[in-house]
Amino acid sequence: MSNDGTKAAARRGAWRKIHSTCECGVEVYGNGKNHFRSCSAHLESAGWPMDSAMRDALRHEGHMSADIVRIERALGQIYLDRRAHGDKSEMPWSEYRDTVWQLADA
């Protein structure tokens, strides 16, 4: 095997190690946001994972990890309600942003 091939295989291996098992039993690799954001079991247990830019913005405004967890749980509940009404789409960015700040100030 060429040196490049070994490196690529090592990277694939490292990436595959970054995984967790979701509440629903699915093995999730990498940050798993695509799965976690659409999985009812995860939305119920841990909420809807925010993107890192939004988390950084919240931290910048002085919100601690506990707040971020609380906001993600609340977002999870909002998404479960939307799904219960047959809406599986993501909120438009502006609505998402406004909702996060409302939850942050609550």
- Smallest gap from Cβ 94 to Zn ion, in A, equals 28
What secondary structure letter does DSSP report for 32?
-
CA distance 76 to 45: 8
Neighbours of 71 (CB within 10 A): 24
Instruction: Find the shortest distance in angstroms from Cβ 39 to Zn ion.
Output: 3
Q: 82 exposed, middle or buried (CB, 10 Å; 0-12, 13-18, 19+)?
A: middle
Closer by beta carbon to Zn ion, 78 or else 104: 78
Least distance (Å) from Zn ion to the CB of residue 64? 27
Give whichever of 42 and 63 is closer to Zn ion, judged by the CB atom.
42
Binding site for Zn ion (CB under 5 A): 22, 24, 26, 39, 42
- How far apart are the C-alpha atoms of 93 and 99, rounded to whole Å? 10
Q: Which is nearer to Zn ion, 39 or 50 (CB)?
A: 39
Q: Specify the DSSP element, H or E, that contains 21.
A: strand 19-21
Nearest approach in angstroms of CB 72 to Zn ion is 15
The smaller minimum CB distance to Zn ion, of residues 35 and 70, is found at: 35
